[in-house]
Each structure stands twice: as structure tokens, then as C-alpha cells.
Amino acid sequence: MFRAALLRSARAAAATARPATMTARGRTLITAARPVRVSAVAAPRVQAVRMYSAGGALKKEEVEGRIMSLLQGFDKIKPTAHFANDLGLDSLDTVEVVMAIEEEFSIEIPDKDADSIHSIEQAVTYILNQPDAS
């Protein structure tokens, strides 16, 4: 939806603006007061750019608190708690915890990285190393 709106606005801008010269298939056409029809004119390219802010880094205490609040229903919650050994979670529960962490911090954790997260401490370390975690 966003891309369609962006392309519509680019087409509208291209329709109202007349460049001094246009190139179509190796020929240069000089535009005058009257419109020139060229069938092979390329549409303007639009490139999206993702910017990162340097000031919005998460603090370790904030990440620990948010992860621990996700796991409120379990006993023995502490920063070094292991999901299976200390909290008694099976593999499906661990996957659900990782999915909740992804949703909480607005990131996507690849499967190979998710398989290595077995404790709150490992989850905190992983989140702190992600530049787009929020």
C-alpha cells in the first residue's frame, strides 16, 4: 500500500514537471512548450532508505525488565534463569517465549539465532546486539 502511494505521487510529480531534456532509447529530445510523446520513457526510480538513530539505544536494565515482565507467570524468575532447567519450559514454550520477545522488541529473530536463546541472559544479550530493537 505504501509503495503504491509512493509510485502514484512520483508519477504525479513527473507529469507536472517537464525536464529540459529527456532521453529515450539513446535519442535526446528537447522539450518545448508543447508536450512531446515518447513511448519508451522510463518511470522515475524511487529508493527507500532506512535510517537508524544513534540516541535510542536500549539499556540492559530496561531489556531485562521487559523480558522478565513477559515471563511473570513463572516461578524463579531471575536474570540468569534458564528456560528449560529453571522455568520448566519445553521446546514449544521456548518458541512462544522467543516469539513474545520478537513482538515486544519489534524485531525478527532468525531460527538459527532463536535456537541458541535458552535463558533470559542470552535473550538480553541478543536484544542489546540488535540495532533496530525498540
Catalytically active residues, by annotation = 90
Do 63 and 97 touch, CB atoms closer than 8 A?
A: no
| Closest by Cα among 98, 96, 107, 113 to 130 | 107
- Cell readout for 92 is 514449544
CA pair distance 54, 131, nearest whole angstrom: 9
Q: Which helix (H) or strand (E) holds 29?
A: strand 27-30
Q: How far apart are CA 51 and CA 3, in angstroms?
A: 18
48: closest CA among 2, 96, 113?
A: 2
